[in-house]
Structure 1
Amino acid sequence: MSEPIAQPSATLVDAPWQAYRRPYVRDLAYVLACPNVLTEWLDFAPHQNTHTISVHSTRFWQAQFAAYRPRLDELDTTNAYQALTRYLVTRPSPNRLGFHFEGLLSFWLEDGFQRGLHSYETLASNVQLYNGKQTTGELDLILYNHADNLVEHWELAIKFFMGSAPFEPENWVGINSNDNLQRKMTHMQTKQFRTVWVDTENHGQVKIDKRYGIIKGRFFLPKNITNFVYPSWLAPSFPMHEWCDKYDTSTLATLDIRELRAAHYIEWFSKRDFYDGRPSALIHSENGILKTGLYFEGDRPIVIYPKQHDEKSD
Structure 2
Amino acid sequence: MIELQPPTLAPEVWLNYRTAAVRQLAFALASPNILSSLPPELQIQHAFTLHADIFWQQHYLNYQQRLAYLDLHPEALHNFLNQLKSTRLGLRFEMLMWFWLLDRDYHPFELLGHSIQIIDGAKTIGELDFLLRNHDTQQIEHWEVALKYYLAEADFSLPHWYGLNRSDTLARKLNHFSQKQFQFEQALNFPIQQRFAVLKGQLYFPHLYSQNIVDRTPHWVNRARRLGTWGNHIPENTADFYRLQRHEWICQNVQASSLTNQWWTDGLYFQATTSEFYMYRAASYLSYPPLHVE
Bucket of the pairwise TM-score, normalised by the shorter protein: 0.7 to 0.9
Q: Which amino acid aligns with 1:109?
A: L
Q: Which residue does the alignment assign to 1:83? A: 76
CA–CA distance in 1 between the matches of 2:155 and 2:182? Answer: 28
Indicate conservation of the 8 Å contact 2:159/2:170, yes or no.
yes
Match of 1:68 in 2: 63
Kept in 2: contact 1:129–1:136 (CA 8 A): yes
Q: Does 1:58 align with 2:32?
A: no
Distance change in 2, residues 1:25/1:106 (3 Å): same
Q: Secondary structure of 1:51's partner?
A: coil
- Give the stretch that moved more between structures: 234-243 or 154-163: 234-243
Task: Please say which of residues 167-176 and 296-305 is displaced more in the overlay.
Answer: 296-305
Instruction: Give yes or no for contact 2:5–2:227 (8 Å, CA) kept in 1.
Output: no
Normalization by structure 1: what TM-score?
A: 0.81
Which ranges in structure 2 are unaligned for 5 or more consecutive residues?
288-294
Contact 1:45 1:190 in 2 (8 A): no
> Which amino acid in 2 is paired with 1:262?
R
Cα pair 1:119 1:145 within 8 Å, conserved: yes
User: Aligned equivalents of 2:7 and 2:82: distance in 1?
Assistant: 35
Selected match of 1:213 from 184, 193, 197: 197
Task: Give yes or no for contact 2:9–2:225 (8 Å, CA) kept in 1.
Answer: no
- Give SS of 1:239's match: coil
Distance in 1 between the 2:246 and 2:193 partners?
37
Going from structure 1 to structure 2, the CA distance change for 1:57 and 1:13 (only over 3 Å counts) comes to closer
| Alignment map for 1:176-195 (pairs within 5 Å) | 176-195=165-184
Among all aligned residue pairs of Structure 1 and Structure 2, give the percentage whose two residues are the same amino acid: 30
The counterpart of 1:281, out of the listed 249, 256, 261, is 261
CA distance in 2, matches of 1:304, 1:10: 26
* Alignment match of 1:22 (pick from 19, 39, 48): 19
Match of 1:243 in 2: 230
3-state DSSP of counterpart to 1:184:
helix
Contact preservation (8 Å) 1:41, 1:53: no
The counterpart of 1:272, out of the listed 215, 239, 253, is 253
Gaps of 5+ in 1: 1-6, 200-204, 247-251
Per-residue deviation, 1:16: 1.2
C-alpha distance in 2, partners of 1:263/1:51? Answer: 37
**1:32 counterpart residue number:** 29
Q: Deviations over 1:167-202 (max 9, x none)?
A: 122222111111111110001111110011212xxx
Q: In the alignment, what sits opposite 1:249?
A: none
2:280 is aligned to: 304
- Give the SS at the match of 1:83: helix
Measure, in 2, the Cα distance between the counterparts of 1:240 and 1:104.
22
CA displacement 1:258-306 (0-9 Å, x = unmatched):
7542221111111125553x45534xx5xxxx43211233453211124
CA distance in 2, matches of 1:235, 1:260: 25
Residues 39-188 of structure 1 aligned to structure 2 (within 5 Å): 39-42=36-39, 44-46=42-44, 50-77=45-72, 79=73, 81-91=74-84, 93=86, 95-111=87-103, 113=104, 115=105, 117-188=106-177
Residues in 2 aligned to 1:103 and 1:253: alpha-carbon distance in whole angstroms: 35
Aligned-partner SS, 1:281: coil
- Tell which deviates more after alignment, 233-242 or 220-229: 220-229
Change (3 A) 1:194 1:272: same
Q: What is the CA–CA distance in structure 2 between the aligned matches of 1:53 and 1:272, rounded to whole Å?
A: 34
CA distance in 2, matches of 1:125, 1:92: 17
Q: TM-score, normalised by structure 2?
A: 0.86
CA-atom RMSD in angstroms: 2.4
Change (3 A) 1:253 1:86: closer
2:9, 2:223 within 8 Å by CA — same for their partners in 1? no
Name the aligned partner's letter for residue 44 of structure 1: L
Q: 1:253 to 1:193 in 2, by over 3 A?
A: closer
Distance (Å, rounded) in 2 between the aligned partners of 1:11 and 1:171: 26
2:268 alignment partner, SS class: strand
